[in-house]
Amino acid sequence: MGFSLGEGIVFAFLLLGLEIQSGYCSQVTQINRASFPKGFVFGTASSAYQYEGAVEEDGRGKTVWDTFAHSFGKIADFSNADVAVDQYHRFNEDIQLMKDMGMDVYRFSIAWSRIFPNGSGEINQAGVDHYNNLINALLAKGIEPYITLYHWDLPQALADKYKGWLDPQIIKDFTVYAETCFQKFGDRVKHWITFNEPHTFAIQGYDVGLQAPGRCSILLRLFCRAGNSATEPYIVGHHVLLSHATVADIYRKKYKQKQHGSVGIAFDVMWFEPMTDSAKDIEAAQRAQDFQFGWFMEPLFYGEYPSSMRSRVGSRLPIFSKAEAALVKGSLDFVGINHYTTYYAKDNSTNIVGFVLNDSLADSGAITLPWKSGKAIGDRASSVWLYIVPEGIRKLMNYIKIKYGNPTVIITENGMDDANNPLISIKDALKDEKRIKYHNDYLTNLLASIKEDGCNVKGYFVWSLLDNWEWTAGYKSRFGVYFVDYKDNLKRYPKDSVQWFKSFLTST
């Protein structure tokens, strides 16, 4: 169901009317909290593995990211997250920073292996106690918790036992874990995010092998010891959808009436702009979106995968039974969007990339790039993939509104990074005008999508409160509005963007 190819072409032409321009606004416009609708929430986002540290404390079990980060050559700066930014011990301090900024909510993830060290079996009470303390501390400061159940840190025991997300047993084990969280924390937690960026961990973990658990079959296994890049990402995605739907069904039947909460997922979503106005590139941009976002949204809204995926992936794409399709369809209350950047998309008719790699990335028949005719689509942040294109978020919100019937959307992540440059003084590192412009310009476009276009967006979460351990980039990338001094006991220093957010959130 969803769009036919012809409808996709018409829709793409429609979106071309909101023309993307290279670069971003040069002046900060006057918007603030009062510019947004009543009830719109602002917060920051994090994940357990990137923030907590304390990896061997209080009964926490090992995760696939512990294993991956300790494997030679996997992390750019050869670091690991054994300590991260030590929020496990410093959460009261960090909550006060959020309170001082005027933030309404905090999105964090629970480490599955703190609740079930082996992924299943006996509950670890020390883990339950920690998250109870964190939740209660947030509520005491008037900050509402938004909890992500799975932010990539699969218990290593389940990977060892049955290869984790590649086996349907994961659905049962994830369901038990999720229901345990509903039982232990649901009296105070009203917003649940089952998964963070399933597209990312399916592709990066099981196609190209650049993230945990590091499985792939591309380029004659030069990077990975095991895996099948042509099939495993789709199996992982399928099990994620069934896990989410099963958990959402249980929540609605057993907990929602009493706890009055909601369940969603957070997706990584770039906006794709056709490289040219040719029909082929417009179709390619739609396919790129199908293979990124539609992969998960189409089943959740229409009960089946996008037609472009079914036709191009064929028998490698799993099939939902009628009962499974009915379970998955409609199984979310809100759509979380992690949006950072916009790329161009062009048709890949020759499919040379697919011939060389034989992986799922090539199945879309689209090449996505941040340049056209040698010119970047926007100014670049520190990360090689992150180009600043504020107008992209407005286009994306309109796409979701039109294609999926204007569901409730929360921007569950948005932000940009600076490099961790040891030659720059802390004083100079705190001057982050570029970050201020980034958030101002993305928020300005988001506001336009709400007020001018009627998009149903209810919240905006900054990635991130603190500089932190950024997966394969290690500590090389600083996304925080607070600078963390990794050389001096992880002291937190407010960047200029902290004062900007304070003014933004307190102005009327």
DSSP class of residue 30? -
Sheet containing strand 342-347, strands side by side: 271-274, 342-347, 366-369
SS (H, E, C) 94-126: HHHHHHHHCCCEEEEECCHHHHCCCCCCCCCHH
Catalytic residue among 232, 283, 324, 413: 413
Q: Helices 433-451 and 391-404 meet at what angle, rounded to 10? A: 30
Catalytic residue among 52, 144, 197, 470: 197
The Cα 255–Cα 192 span in angstroms is 12
Closest CA to 411 of 482, 469, 460, 448: 460
Residue 197 designated active-site: yes
Query: Residue 420 in contact with residue 79, Cβ under 8 Å?
Result: no
The Cα 33–Cα 329 span in angstroms is 34
The Cα 118–Cα 95 span in angstroms is 30
DSSP class of residue 457? E
Tell me the DSSP string of 406-429.
S--EEEEEE---EE--TTS-HHHH
Give every CB contact of residue 253 below 8 A, 6+ residues apart in sequence: none
Structure tokens at 53: 């540290």
Q: Helices 433-451 and 496-506 meet at what angle, rounded to 10? A: 30
Residue 273 designated active-site: no
Tell me the DSSP string of 366-411.
EEEESEETTEESSEE-SSTT-EE-THHHHHHHHHHHHHHTS--EEE
Active-site amino acid positions: 197, 413
